[in-house]
Amino acid sequence: MIHSTIERRNCGQGLLEFVIRMDSGELYLECDECLTGFTEVVDGQLGRGFLAIGPEWTARDATVEEISAAGLAWSIREDRT
């Protein structure tokens, strides 16, 4: 999976992962610690979050191409540890 460098203001602990909703194809960011999802990035900041625990859709890891298409390639973390 691919992580983002965008500041995670919610819990301050987890990494933000780029994921894709399987039903709508929408890209969003999800914190791997508190499972908060973020669909909006405005001026490099996260928009309103939602609880991504047990959503009514399934998600998969986003690809670099999809992240680029969403205009967020600048925030891809290079150190994938």
Q: Does 11 bind Zn ion (CB under 5 A)?
A: yes
Distance between CA atoms of 80 and 19, rounded to whole angstroms? 15
Residue 75: closest CA among 36, 33, 34, 42: 42
Selected from 5, 6, 10, 66, the binder of Zn ion by CB under 5 A is: 10
Selected from 2, 20, 31, 72, the binder of Zn ion by CB under 5 A is: 31
Calculate the alpha carbon distances from 52 to 18, 31, 43, 79 in Å.
Answer: 13, 9, 23, 25
Q: Does 50 bind Zn ion (CB under 5 A)?
A: no
Q: Does 33 bind Zn ion (CB under 5 A)?
A: yes
Footprint of Zn ion on this chain (CB under 5 A)? Answer: 10-11, 14, 31, 33-34
